[in-house]
Amino acid sequence: MKRISILFVCMGNICRSPLAEGIFGHLVAEAGLTGDFTIDSAGTGGWHEGEPPDRRSIATAKSHGIDISGQRARCIQPLHNCILNRHRFKDAIMQQFKVLQRPLRV
């Protein structure tokens, strides 16, 4: 199967999107599907570029056994426009995560 690329986006890439990237990466690894996904995050603005995630996001992730402290904020790039094909994205995710029909454990 073709590798699926997922980009989580929020405004500055220091709060929500790094946390989403970390949680999703954790679930993918837990399901043994790491080789099937490329997971990343970015912000719509570049004012936090190079900064680590917000300390509260790091603490929230850490309290669930997920380390996002190594991530660095960056601005979304033109190459990411492939994420706009929502129907294809939804179908691909549903296909890959049929195995994850259980509650989220983070």
Annotated catalytic residue, options 15, 16, 74, 86: 16
82 catalytic? Reply is no
Residue 102 bears catalytic tag: no
Euclidean distance between CA atoms 23 and 88, whole angstroms: 22
| 3-class secondary-structure state, position 6 | strand
Read out DSSP for 54-104?
PHHHHHHHHHTT---TT----B--GGGGGGG-HHHHHHHHHHHGGG--S--
Catalytic residue of the set 3, 10, 55, 102: 10
Residues involved in catalysis: 10, 16
